[in-house]
């Protein structure tokens, strides 16, 4: 029996999935992913920027390429973190059911762990094919300041709730700060501050 096998077969890789619009990515996202990776012994966390986030259609979302590049910049220094273009390249509105089906097909040696903040978890029953989501991945809901973390109404055993270091940061607040000319240093990674400046993002937000 090889090093990566058990009496019942090969040990599966544990792949975390952090989906988000990341407009921009901030330290709240990064701390949540890092903490869950440690608590759940994940081998890797793949960040998946949305293509078209259909539940955010009430506001203009920045171009997918800018959100993708900011996510790459923010995660580049962590060997456990990677970024996937699958939701961007699929085109059309992004549904997590497609994200998970595609990631399963690409990683048939892995168990998937989908990471969501308390606010996103509270909306999950409004997502497309909500019931099927839980057969494709284990969901991990993380605490987020200003939101109640609960698994009410969600399938038993399908969700774990965990406390992560509280960072009261949101992309909405980061965009508003840039629009007002206020700093976002230390709310987002340094390279993301520079990228926002270079591309003149959020100036008129
Ligand atoms: N500060 C935070 N702490 C924990 N989880 C977070 C935090 N910020 C975002 N998340 C989670 O990260 C995922 C992606 O979030 P998203 O990209 O929508 O960021 P956001 O800050 O909520 O953006 P916006 O303010 O534009 O709605 C969601 O599951 C969300 O709940
Ligand atoms: O599948 C859906 O219908 C669905 C609806 C809203 C949000 N999501 C996913 O939830 C994650 C966080 O989304 P957001 O919009 O809060 O950045 C991201 O991976 C989205 O694709 C998924």
The ipTM estimated for the assembled molecules is: 0.99
Distance 115 CA to ligand 2 centre (A): 11
Q: What domains sit in the chain, N to C, each tagged with a CATH number?
A: 13-199 (3.40.50.620)
Which tokens in the block code for residue 153? 């109404």
pLDDT per position in the chain (205 positions), as tens?
Answer: 445 556 677 899 999 999 999 999 999 999 999 999 999 999 999 999 999 999 887 889 999 999 999 999 999 999 999 999 999 999 999 999 999 999 999 999 999 999 999 999 999 999 999 999 999 999 999 999 999 999 999 999 999 999 999 999 999 999 999 999 999 999 999 999 999 999 999 998 6
Find all residues with CB under 8 Å of 169, minimum gap 6, and list them: 26, 27, 28, 187
Rounded to the nearest 10°, the torsion over CA 160, 164, 167, 168 is 40
Atom 5 in ligand 1: residue holding the nearest Cα: 117
Are 139 and 158 contacting, i.e. CB atoms less than 8 angstroms apart? yes
Pocket test for ligand 2, best of 127, 129, 134, 175 (most atoms within 8 A of CB): 127
What residues flank ligand 2, with Cβ below 6 Å? 19-21, 50, 53, 55-56, 94-97, 120, 127-128
Atom 9 in ligand 2: residue holding the nearest Cα: 96
- Minimal CA–CA distance to 49: which of 17, 6, 9? 17
pTM: 0.96
Distance 9 CA to ligand 2 centre (A): 34
User: What is the predicted pLDDT for the residue at 1?
Assistant: 45
End-to-end CA distance of the chain: 58
Q: Kind of pairing, strands 5-6 and 9-10? A: antiparallel
């Amino acid at each position: 029996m090889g090093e990566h096998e058990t009496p019942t077969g090969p040990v599966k890789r544990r792949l975390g999935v952090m989906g988000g619009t990341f407009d921009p990515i901030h330290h709240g996202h990064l701390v949540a992913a890092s903490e869950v990776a440690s608590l759940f012994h994940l081998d890797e966390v793949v960040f998946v920027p949305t293509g078209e986030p259909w539940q955010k259609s009430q506001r203009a979302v920045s171009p997918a390429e800018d959100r993708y590049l900011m996510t790459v910049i923010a995660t580049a220094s962590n060997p456990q973190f990677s970024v996937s273009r699958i939701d961007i390249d699929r085109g059309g509105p992004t549904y997590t059911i497609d994200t998970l089906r595609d990631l399963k097909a690409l990683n048939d040696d892995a168990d998937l762990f989908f990471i969501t903040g308390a606010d996103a978890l509270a909306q999950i029953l409004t997502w497309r094919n909500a019931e099927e989501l839980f057969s494709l991945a284990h969901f991990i809901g993380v605490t987020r300041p200003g939101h109640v973390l609960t698994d009410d109404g969600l399938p038993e055993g399908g969700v774990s709730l965990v406390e992560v270091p509280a960072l009261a940061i949101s992309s909405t607040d980061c965009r508003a700060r840039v629009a007002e000319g206020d700093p976002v240093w230390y709310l987002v990674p340094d390279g993301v501050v520079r990228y926002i400046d270079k591309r003149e993002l959020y100036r008129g937000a």
